[in-house]
Structure 1
Amino acid sequence: MDDSGPPCKRCTERNLSCVLNKSLQTLIEERSRWKTTVIGDLDHIHSALQDVLGRLSLPPLPPLQTSNSGALEHSPHDEAMDREFPGPSCDNSPRVSPRDDALPHVPIESLYQITRLRALRSDDTADEPQPPPISTPNHPVNDFISNGLLSIEDAERLVNLYFNRIDHFMYMIGGSKYRNLESLRRGSPILTACICTVAALHDPMSNHLYGVCSREFRRLMAASMFDRRIDRDHLRAMCIGSYWLHDVSWTLSGYAIRRATEVNLNNNFHRVIAENSEEAMDCMRIWYILYICDHHLSILYGRPSIVREDFSISGWEELMKSSVFTESDKRLVSQMALLIIMSNVRELFGPDTGEPVPRAFAPQLTNFSRQIDQWMGYWTTELQKLHQFIGEFPTKGVILHHHLAKLHLHSHVFRGLKGAPVPAFFQESAVAAVSSATSIIEMLLTDYDIREGLVGIPHYIHSMIAFACVFLLKVAAQHSGQFIEDAVVFDLATKAVQQFRSTAVGKWHLVHLMADGLEKMVASKIKSPSAIRSPPLPDANRNGNGVAPSGLHYMNQSQAATSMLLMPNGEGLYGSGGNAVVNGFEEDLNIATSSFLHFDSGNFDFNFTGF
């Protein structure tokens, strides 16, 4: 009997092997393989046509009615088809370079000349034109807005919020050539999705839209991962995402830098100097933003940066002489000038190995501190005093960044102490670090432009503000009363929590996540409510009713005690009995996982889920 299937009636009666069954089984298998092949071919053709229609902004094809998903068994022929990969594509007409007759100076050029593999050669924007626009005015746009995932009205509101407010905090490079939704959608779907995502993150009325926009942006990013070429707007979208979207910033920054180096984006520096080219200057703005994002993340995560200080970075002063250099560009290079100093600081101190900082570094600390002071003195007078959309933030932002840089620099002296006293030769730096952290929070609470800037500033500044708060709490825990009074720390931290909660942003924004975590940390730090009996912070911008311009209410001592003793669930901050709840807190504190955050944490519990 044949084991491949039930025999026919005749073979069963005569106890014979069924030839008919074998033939039918073979026929079924062949038909199954043929059907699988045809459906696979149709899928490839359908996908290719959909891609062409999408690029031409024509209506998409209806979905295929046939499907091979789960309906057919996997056959050995399918595995054979998988193995029949056509191989990497080659250039039939290889690009001729003037260097082809010279001795090769880049090894990959030699490999390309031998193999002509297209993937080995990088595109050169100076030699090859940019891809044509994705859409023309005569054709409808096919994107997540036209598909009904995001309404035109919501998209208009989000894009206007970005262009009129948020983009000015990124020196207006996000939408340099698009000033309305229609032109943006026709120019770059991925830039549209990214701008809508960032705007929804900042808009308290768009919590329901943030997930829609974020998913579309991630989908387009994933779909373009292996694209042979991406245009400048694609790079612009990755810059925007890295600048504001804290959960994907590290991934986007590294990928964008790699794609930018493929086209030698930094070489546009010479074109700006020689030709005063606006197009080349736009490329340099993108390259500078990538440098800023890269070094911001390097500070936050305590990891090495990727972009080094080459001719295009260190030569920023030459660009200021160009006729295409703008006031926004001046703010952009001011950030780069500071980050060059901070990059040298990281090179000196290196990664945190848990060892104390050597005494020999004391003169370097003084030298770097002087450079940061000189940077602030120059740029506070050089930048425009009043901005049309963000007020006095450009100059006040310089002061804020001055304090952030000083905190970053001088906080190194707490490395490796494990609760031991700060050495006498580092006392001045320890005082400077505490003073800088205090000034950061005081600026946040008392300066109108800095408070308003919480809606728009990059996540790097939010992270550094969080570091300032945690730094003061840990200094108070380990060096109580030595550098700052515990009551002052409590007052600053609790008012920072109020400010974070009163800031009008989306619920997924960092400031709202920071509020809950910082409140729990303060509750773990303070041993008794008596610490809240501290003098209120001076506020030059407070009006007669005790209300700051951004809506933050500054309370007297009794109001502060009542407010802070109440948790959102109605229970007291110190428990139902009014006593402080103190737990042991762990040594590692994961806030942006920055290496310079990890000096010894004592015996309190700062463990929370808010960050």
Structure 2
Amino acid sequence: MDESGPPCKRCTERNLSCVLNKSLQTLIEERSQWKTTVTSDLEHIHSALQEVLGRLSLPSVPPLQTSSNQFVPSPQDDAVERDDIGPSCDNSPRVSPRDDALVHVPIESLYQITRLRALRSDDAGEEQQPPPRRSSHHPVSDFISHGLVSVEDAERLVNLYLNRIDHFMYMIGGSKYRDLESLRRGSPILTAAICTVAALHDPMSNHLYGVCSREFRRLMAASMFDRRIDRDHMRALCIGSYWLHDISWTLSGYAIRRATEVNLSSNFHRVLVENNEEAMDCMRIWYILYICDHHLSILYGRSSIVREDASISGWEELMKSSAFTESDKRLVSQMALLIIMSNVRELFGPDTGEPVPRAFATQLSNFSRQIDQWMGQWTTELLKLHQFIGEFPTKGVILHHHLAKLHLHSHVFRGLKGAPVPAYFQDSAVAAVSAATSIVEMLLSDYDIREGLAGIPHYIHSMIAFACVFLLKVAAQHSGHYIDDAVVLELTSKAVQQFRSTAVGKWHLVHLMADGLEKMAMRKIQSPTAFQHPTVPNGAVQASMQYVDSNSTLPPINNGNGIYGNGMMGNSFEDDLNMSGVPFLHFDSGNIDFSFGGFGL
């Protein structure tokens, strides 16, 4: 076989020996290299000219419209490669110690006989090789240098992310970078991801969010078929999965697949044996991918991708390593809880519309006890005051405890279609309502949780929304049985006000949640006896940003006073609040549709 590539079309049709293929390949490579070199030379000339004009106090020339990073082959080039060259092969095939042995991975056999480069996997260590860094004298060509976002705005966004938001993801996203300059020279796609998430959280950056988001998606799409991606690219995927609710499912699955290509989890043993910091950094990325994956499984009621192998279940072993940090302690606390939640999901399975079997009552009690034990351990472990996010680590444990209890016990409402909860599940029904109530009350009364609304992952926002809607549904279908309708309306109105008064960008989930939750509650009002003048607790953020949907016909909330006209929720809305597995969290604003099948509602 000619390892330089298959013959061209002409030779194939005439059954001739092809002598042009290798020459054509060489010609295309030389042409591409020439274009790259010319573009790089132009960038140097442009940079020097800009510097001269700046020293002479003269207007600068427009930015270059092309760069070495943006070069895309012409359609003609693509056509030539597709027609004549075909898939690339290894001219010097990789020698493997298993080449003479009986292979156990089928793709290795196919690679050995075809030498197609795309078929072979990289070594586990290949991902760890850092990408070549740009010289400090070489100009950076990105969406900032092209004027889409000013340097001042970009610095503000990056500082917001590094100094606050990243701490909610255990400092995995941008801890290796100090400022905008080092970040831009290190990774364009990580820069775009960080700016996107920061703009989403910043009420002063609504005009920047779309620009940053488009750039992030463009770079992500352009790299889809890259042979190899580095760790900063993986960080960008983690950031998107953690905070960007509209693309998190897509990014999470793609990131996990790329992580398995380089066997990222194999670094677990390197940490245990060598206390290697690079290996520990890889494990942090692997763990945050596990967390995102299982968060999404809970939210969407779908199977998770990452299973509990030794690298996941053995998280306690990592705590003995000298490479383990205080932030890592918070990280593995989430691992411990999600392993319990994974077992819950395996027990209940997907929602088929059938009620939960009575035999599950014992398992419900067992899982509930495990969640209590988890909280007891980690509220003690995470008592240390955090420099940037205060007492949120400890308060977050309590919040996650309530979220897990709601997720667990809400399953007893599955398949009831408004019928009474069986007597043997009454304790779980009460526990579910109590957990949902505690979630909303904690949001309204605890300063650190309220402040954390700007920074926490979209999973927690989604679970808070689930708690609010769950209470509305319970009040509609089981009016006065588990909680007073007036209490539900009061908590709902206060939650709406808190969401609206949170200082984040207008595209952030909390503002979309406020509009949708208010409209949902308004549809359930029947009589003017529910409650009087709900108020936002003292200390709640009020004036930072007031965002009201201009398309909404509802009156704006004003300090939470009488926003529902003192209404009452009744039982005549069961079609709208059916708890039997239909998508129940549809916010009119933003067209967000969460289908929480995993909760059995």
Partners of 1:273 and 1:307 in 2: CA distance: 21
Give the deviation of 1:54 after TM superposition. 7.1
2:371 pairs with 1:390: no
Partners of 2:329 and 2:298 in 1: CA distance: 23
SS of aligned partner of 1:532: coil
The aligned residue for residue 467 of structure 1 is: 466
Given that 2:268 and 2:279 are in contact with CA atoms closer than 8 Å, whether structure 1 keeps it comes out as yes
Partners of 2:139 and 2:81 in 1: CA distance: 37
The aligned residue for residue 138 of structure 2 is: 139
Given that 1:55 and 1:135 are in contact with CA atoms closer than 8 Å, whether structure 2 keeps it comes out as no
Name the aligned partner's letter for residue 593 of structure 1. S
Name the aligned partner's letter for residue 255 of structure 1. Y
Paired residues for 1:33-52 under 5 Å: 45=31, 49-50=35-36
Partners of 1:234 and 1:285 in 2: CA distance: 14
Q: 1:106 to 1:418 in 2, by over 3 A?
A: same
SS of aligned partner of 1:420: coil
Give the deviation of 1:111 after TM superposition. 1.3
2:567 pairs with 1:568: no
Q: C-alpha offsets along residues 158-181 of structure 1, whole Å, 9 cap, x if unaligned?
A: 000000000000000101211110
Q: 1:239 to 1:474 in 2, by over 3 A?
A: same
Partners of 2:428 and 2:130 in 1: CA distance: 53
Partners of 2:295 and 2:38 in 1: CA distance: 39
Paired residues for 1:530-569 under 5 Å: 530-533=529-532, 547-551=538-542, 567-568=555-556
Q: 1:347 to 1:129 in 2, by over 3 A?
A: closer
Q: 1:48 to 1:384 in 2, by over 3 A?
A: farther
Q: C-alpha offsets along residues 584-605 of structure 1, whole Å, 9 cap, x if unaligned?
A: 5264334321104563xxxxxx
2:373 pairs with 1:374: yes
Partners of 2:39 and 2:134 in 1: CA distance: 11
Give the deviation of 1:129 after TM superposition. 6.2
Paired residues for 1:3-152 under 5 Å: 45=31, 49-50=35-36, 84-126=83-125, 130-152=129-151
Given that 2:479 and 2:485 are in contact with CA atoms closer than 8 Å, whether structure 1 keeps it comes out as yes
2:595 pairs with 1:593: yes
Name the aligned partner's letter for residue 391 of structure 1. G
Given that 2:190 and 2:236 are in contact with CA atoms closer than 8 Å, whether structure 1 keeps it comes out as yes
Name the aligned partner's letter for residue 218 of structure 1. R
Q: Identify the structure with bigger relative contact order (alpha carbons < 8 Å, sequence gap 6+).
A: 2
Partners of 2:470 and 2:569 in 1: CA distance: 21
TM-score by length of 2: 0.82
Paired residues for 1:258-337 under 5 Å: 258-337=257-336
Q: 1:53 to 1:429 in 2, by over 3 A?
A: farther
Q: C-alpha offsets along residues 486-523 of structure 1, whole Å, 9 cap, x if unaligned?
A: 01100100000000000000000000000000001111
Name the aligned partner's letter for residue 113 of structure 1. Q
The aligned residue for residue 408 of structure 1 is: 407
Give the deviation of 1:213 after TM superposition. 0.4
Give the deviation of 1:128 after TM superposition. 7.2
Given that 2:127 and 2:228 are in contact with CA atoms closer than 8 Å, whether structure 1 keeps it comes out as no
SS of aligned partner of 1:530: coil
Given that 2:124 and 2:266 are in contact with CA atoms closer than 8 Å, whether structure 1 keeps it comes out as no
Partners of 2:239 and 2:599 in 1: CA distance: 27
TM-score by length of 1: 0.81
Given that 1:415 and 1:598 are in contact with CA atoms closer than 8 Å, whether structure 2 keeps it comes out as yes
SS of aligned partner of 2:99: helix
Partners of 2:519 and 2:135 in 1: CA distance: 54
2:190 pairs with 1:191: yes
Structure 1 window deviating more from structure 2 (89-98 vs 511-520): it is 89-98
Give the deviation of 1:550 after TM superposition. 3.1
Note the residue ranges of structure 2 that are not aligned, 5 or more in a row: 1-26, 47-62, 68-74, 545-552, 586-593
Partners of 2:199 and 2:126 in 1: CA distance: 38
Given that 1:301 and 1:594 are in contact with CA atoms closer than 8 Å, whether structure 2 keeps it comes out as yes
Partners of 1:343 and 1:305 in 2: CA distance: 8
Partners of 2:522 and 2:400 in 1: CA distance: 29
Partners of 2:568 and 2:479 in 1: CA distance: 20
Q: 1:523 to 1:188 in 2, by over 3 A?
A: same
Name the aligned partner's letter for residue 437 of structure 1. A
Partners of 2:341 and 2:78 in 1: CA distance: 54
Structure 1 window deviating more from structure 2 (390-399 vs 587-596): it is 587-596
Partners of 2:438 and 2:404 in 1: CA distance: 12
Name the aligned partner's letter for residue 130 of structure 1. Q
2:524 pairs with 1:525: yes
Partners of 1:170 and 1:93 in 2: CA distance: 42
The aligned residue for residue 163 of structure 2 is: 164
Give the deviation of 1:552 after TM superposition. 8.4
Given that 2:93 and 2:115 are in contact with CA atoms closer than 8 Å, whether structure 1 keeps it comes out as yes
Partners of 1:505 and 1:421 in 2: CA distance: 41
Q: 1:403 to 1:81 in 2, by over 3 A?
A: same
Partners of 2:94 and 2:446 in 1: CA distance: 58
2:471 pairs with 1:450: no
The aligned residue for residue 152 of structure 2 is: 153
Given that 1:527 and 1:580 are in contact with CA atoms closer than 8 Å, whether structure 2 keeps it comes out as yes
SS of aligned partner of 2:132: coil
Given that 1:269 and 1:280 are in contact with CA atoms closer than 8 Å, whether structure 2 keeps it comes out as yes
2:208 pairs with 1:209: yes
SS of aligned partner of 2:530: helix
Q: 1:259 to 1:127 in 2, by over 3 A?
A: closer
Given that 1:55 and 1:134 are in contact with CA atoms closer than 8 Å, whether structure 2 keeps it comes out as no
Partners of 1:55 and 1:168 in 2: CA distance: 41
The aligned residue for residue 225 of structure 1 is: 224
Q: 1:517 to 1:286 in 2, by over 3 A?
A: same
Given that 1:574 and 1:580 are in contact with CA atoms closer than 8 Å, whether structure 2 keeps it comes out as no
Partners of 2:184 and 2:223 in 1: CA distance: 17
Partners of 2:247 and 2:78 in 1: CA distance: 36
Partners of 2:216 and 2:78 in 1: CA distance: 34
Partners of 2:37 and 2:244 in 1: CA distance: 28
Name the aligned partner's letter for residue 152 of structure 1. V
Partners of 2:84 and 2:454 in 1: CA distance: 50
What's the Cα RMSD here? 3.1
Given that 2:476 and 2:569 are in contact with CA atoms closer than 8 Å, whether structure 1 keeps it comes out as no
Partners of 2:142 and 2:278 in 1: CA distance: 27
> Which has the higher Rg, Structure 1 or Structure 2?
1
Partners of 1:224 and 1:195 in 2: CA distance: 17
Q: C-alpha offsets along residues 5-43 of structure 1, whole Å, 9 cap, x if unaligned?
A: xxxxxxxxxxxxxxxxxxxxxxxxxxxxxxxxxxxx999
The aligned residue for residue 512 of structure 1 is: 511
Give the deviation of 1:123 after TM superposition. 1.1
Partners of 2:261 and 2:398 in 1: CA distance: 36
Give the deviation of 1:99 after TM superposition. 1.9
The aligned residue for residue 242 of structure 1 is: 241
Name the aligned partner's letter for residue 270 of structure 1. H
Note the residue ranges of structure 1 that are not aligned, 5 or more in a row: 1-40, 65-73, 554-564, 600-611
SS of aligned partner of 2:85: coil
Q: 1:322 to 1:459 in 2, by over 3 A?
A: same
Q: C-alpha offsets along residues 460-489 of structure 1, whole Å, 9 cap, x if unaligned?
A: 000000000000000000000110000110
